């Protein structure tokens, strides 16, 4: 992975983070592939010290055991989902979120679009978004299994084992929702796949934590919350509420574990973690441009993505995705370590304003929707 003083080009393949040509040059060339192999060289670590020495992780482990839910029986799968009606209702409730709202579409591929085309775009966007969530959750499943193998602390192994079950459940419910309620899958976005490959390939156990628990899960936590608020579809809203309650614990697990470990690292080692966090942030931001949707709809991808990037609400949406990541990186000491390199990079990305928001190490109990539902049912 990254080494000290790595250039931006070496990290993300281009000199400038907003270089559209560079972003679109990364594309998935294996659209029909079913398997994807990544070679990992990490050591599997046994520990013969079974003493429970990390109370915060032990507490999180107990909460995880109490908060398990069943994806088959705890969600109302008999709910009828009319995807076209969902798109229309979502647009009526959130008109500012529509692509093209507030933009001059003259001379663009969208100039001649009517209601039919916009509804179809909304349907494809739903399929794409849930597909990328599904792929990301499988990445989390694989990475958390790796954490069980590689982390040297017994308390962390115990908790990570519960997360493996959580991630399997998330893959299950997103796949079921796509198969039974929506109208098609999309292959994994190339930027997301590159990031997952990087996380898995790195032999250092804490990089798996940083890449998955802090960066990928942190962005997922914000994205799920955003979608849960904006969706008008009751089954998806409840599914996301339950997933959010799990994801908050997962990010808290990363914060609690890495805060202790990073206190013992050298300046050059911390710089490597800063660079990794920046690379992950750019990869995740780039994957939300929906290039695959425009390609499937036979629209000029470059022209369409330019329009997406000009949308008035785009900067707000893009920044909000990092509302969990930035405060967690600050709590870990990554923002200002050394010469404050990561602070500068997050400032360039336009997300530094979230640094003083509540970090997930403190927030996860407020997001435990499963516990709230069970308490309500018992009262």
| Per-residue pLDDT tens digits for 286-310 | 888 899 999 999 999 998 888 888 8
Maximum pairwise Cα distance, the chain: 68
Mean pLDDT, range 191-216, rounded to an integer: 94
CA distance 196 to 42: 15
pLDDT at 100: 65
At residue 296, the 3 state secondary structure works out as: helix
The number of C-alpha atoms within 13 Å of 283 and in the hemisphere containing its C-beta is 26
pLDDT at 98: 64
Helix H or strand E segment including 338: none
Backbone angles phi, psi at 358, to 5 degrees: -65, 130
CA distance 325 to 226: 15
* 354 CB neighbour count, 10 Å cutoff: 21
- Residue 319 reports pLDDT greater than 90: no
Residue 259 CB partners (closer than 8 Å, separation 6+): 331, 332, 333, 361
Between 196 and 369, residue with greater pLDDT: 196
CA distance 108 to 106: 6
pLDDT at 26: 86
DSSP string, 125-185: HHHHHHHHHHHHHHHHHHHHHHHHHH---HHHHHHHHHHHHHHHHHHHHHHHHHHHHSS--
CA distance 173 to 313: 30
Q: What is the mean pLDDT of the chain?
A: 90
pLDDT at 47: 97
Q: Give the confidence band of 1 by pLDDT, cuts at 50, 70, 90.
A: very low
- Residue 71 reports pLDDT greater than 50: yes
* 75 CB neighbour count, 10 Å cutoff: 19
pLDDT above 70 covers a percentage of the chain that reads 93
Compute CA 85 distance to the chain's CA centroid, rounded to the nearest angstrom.
27
Helix H or strand E segment including 334: none
């Amino acid at each position: 992975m990254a080494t000290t003083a790595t250039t931006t080009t070496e990290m993300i393949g281009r000199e400038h983070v907003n270089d559209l040509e560079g972003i679109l040059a990364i594309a998935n060339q294996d659209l029909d592939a079913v398997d994807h192999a990544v070679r990992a060289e990490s050591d599997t670590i046994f520990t013969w010290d079974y003493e429970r020495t990390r109370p915060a992780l032990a507490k999180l482990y107990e909460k995880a055991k109490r908060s398990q839910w069943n994806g088959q029986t705890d969600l109302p799968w008999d709910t009828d989902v009319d995807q076209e009606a969902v798109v229309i209702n979502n647009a009526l409730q959130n008109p500012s979120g529509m692509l093209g709202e507030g933009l001059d579409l003259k001379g663009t591929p969208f100039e001649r679009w009517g209601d039919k085309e916009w509804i179809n775009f909304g349907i494809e966007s739903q399929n794409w978004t849930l597909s990328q969530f599904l792929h990301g959750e499988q990445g989390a499943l694989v990475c958390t299994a790796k954490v069980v193998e590689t982390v040297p602390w017994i308390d962390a192994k115990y908790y990570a084992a519960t997360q493996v079950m959580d991630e399997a459940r998330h893959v299950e419910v997103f796949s079921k929702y796509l198969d039974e309620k929506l109208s098609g899958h999309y292959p994994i976005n190339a930027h997301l796949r590159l990031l997952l490959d990087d996380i898995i390939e790195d032999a250092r156990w804490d990089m798996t934590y940083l890449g998955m628990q802090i960066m990928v899960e942190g962005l997922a936590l914000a994205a799920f919350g955003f979608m849960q608020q904006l969706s008008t579809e009751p089954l998806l809203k409840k599914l996301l509420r339950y997933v959010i309650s799990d994801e908050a614990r997962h990010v808290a697990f990363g914060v609690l574990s890495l805060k202790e470990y990073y206190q013992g690292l050298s300046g050059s080692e911390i710089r490597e973690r800063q660079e990794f966090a920046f690379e992950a942030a750019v990869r995740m931001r780039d994957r939300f441009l929906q290039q695959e949707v425009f390609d499937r709809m036979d629209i000029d991808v470059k022209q369409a993505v330019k329009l997406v990037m000009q949308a008035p609400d785009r900067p707000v949406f893009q920044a909000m995705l990092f509302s969990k990541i930035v405060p967690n990186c600050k709590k870990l000491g990554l923002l200002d370590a050394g010469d404050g390199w990561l602070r500068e990079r997050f400032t360039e990305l336009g997300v530094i304003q979230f640094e003083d928001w509540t970090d997930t190490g403190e927030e996860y109990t407020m997001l435990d929707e499963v516990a709230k539902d069970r308490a309500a049912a018992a009262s």
